[in-house]
Amino acid sequence: MLKVACIVDDDVNIFELGVAAEIFGTDRSDRGVPRNDFRVVTPTPGPVRVAGGLGLPVMVEEGLGFADEADVVIVTPYEECSADVECSVPVARVLQRAVERGARVLTMCTGAFVAARAGVLEGRRVATHWAHADALAAEFPQLVVERDALWVDDGPITSSAGTAAAIDAALHLVRELQGAQVAATIARSMVVPPLRDGGQSQFAIGPVAEQRAETLAPLIDWMVEHLDEEHSVAALARRANLSERTFARRFRDELGATPAAWLTSQRVQRAQQLLEATDLGLDAVAQQSGFGQAALLRHHFTRQLGVSPSAYRRRFACPEPDPQPVAETVVARH
């Protein structure tokens, strides 16, 4: 069980508040998902105005006290938080104490401005909505604003890009704190992929990027079903009926990564699922996830997740909550 405090203020964006409640506050214990102590908190308890001119106040009865004991502190965006307004002193102190005691902080969209004004992002890498990235970089030149990232992890702080990217960042935190099997179960119930590939430039307009097509989708589906096989760029290009150069360029355009990097990421995810839901030895996990050898599995697994496969299994191993097979990797359609 995690203690999760979601900080809101007037003109809160209801979508991100809903994301936080759906992922951390919904009871899915009947499917093997741990229940969390999720609470919405605010500097001044009472009605909190919702953004968008809806005229719907949200009644928040809890003050910020719970946030000082929370394992995860979420900062939701609100309508004016990217403008030239100060982060409230009580919220700033809550965030500062959270970082000092080692809690995880999740900023959603322009919630990054709140954390930056609280002084907890200084010198860190951070994400926000592509439309606000320049403003964040200009106001806080000491930050490294990752303009194309759906979410960024830097130390105890995870930051998400705009709107739906809050789902990606929140599921990432679930994977880290409660395991890939839990994250996959939550994602399935929300009808979203457990992990999306690529960056927000796929969805931006104007100077960031144009939305890309999904011409490689059939090939990607096939690759996911054959992660345990060798895949050279030449062989993949032939299957896609493209030259190697065109294939490599299009793959990066549509998936946001090289074929090798994308395959490694997918194979690590498959290994996570196998380590959690089966008692297979590391050699068998390496074979089924496509790494071939346990040594190669250890190398890539530890490099991506910062923990060894054995340590990961000790922390997150659990049986499937139902007779369904190990959760399949879901590939996003951009």
Task: Taking residues 278-299, report their average pLDDT.
Answer: 94
For 29-76, how does the pLDDT look when each residue is reduced to its tens digit (9 = 90+)?
999 999 999 999 999 999 999 988 777 889 999 999 999 999 999 999
Task: Taking residues 254-275, report their average pLDDT.
Answer: 87
Check residue 320 and give its pLDDT: 52
Indicate whether 298 pLDDT > 80: yes
Integer Cα distance of 278 and 126 in angstroms: 36
Least confident window among 76-85, 107-116, 147-156, 298-307: 76-85
The DSSP secondary-structure symbol of 23 reads I
Question: How many angstroms separate the Cα of 75 from the Cα of each of 96, 110, 245, 266?
Answer: 13, 9, 43, 30
Check residue 277 and give its pLDDT: 85
First to last CA, the chain: 34
Indicate whether 331 pLDDT > 60: no
Integer Cα distance of 232 and 73 in angstroms: 43
Please report which confidence band the pLDDT of residue 85 belongs to, taking 50, 70 and 90 as the band edges: low
What domains, with CATH codes, occur in the chain?
Answer: 3-190 (3.40.50.880), 212-316 (1.10.10.60)
Q: What does pLDDT average to over the chain?
A: 86
For 155-198, how does the pLDDT look when each residue is reduced to its tens digit (9 = 90+)?
899 999 988 899 999 999 999 899 988 998 999 899 887 776 55
Question: Which two three-digit tokens encode residue 285?
Answer: 């996990």
Question: Which two three-digit tokens encode residue 216?
Answer: 């490689």
- Collect all residues with Cβ–Cβ distance below 8 Å to 109 and sequence separation of at least 6: 13, 16, 77, 128, 129, 132, 160, 161, 162, 163, 165, 166
Check residue 88 and give its pLDDT: 86
Check residue 325 and give its pLDDT: 42
Check residue 326 and give its pLDDT: 41
Bridge partners, 40 (sequence order) = 6
Please report which confidence band the pLDDT of residue 300 belongs to, taking 50, 70 and 90 as the band edges: very high
Check residue 318 and give its pLDDT: 64
Orientation of helix 309-316 relative to helix 180-190, angle to 10°: 60
Question: How many angstroms separate the Cα of 290 from the Cα of each of 197, 267, 301, 303, 309?
Answer: 19, 6, 12, 16, 15
Pairing, β 58-60 against β 46-48: antiparallel
Report the SS3 class of residue 47: strand
> Does the pTM exceed 0.85?
no
Q: How many CA atoms lie within 13 A of 224 on its CB side?
A: 14
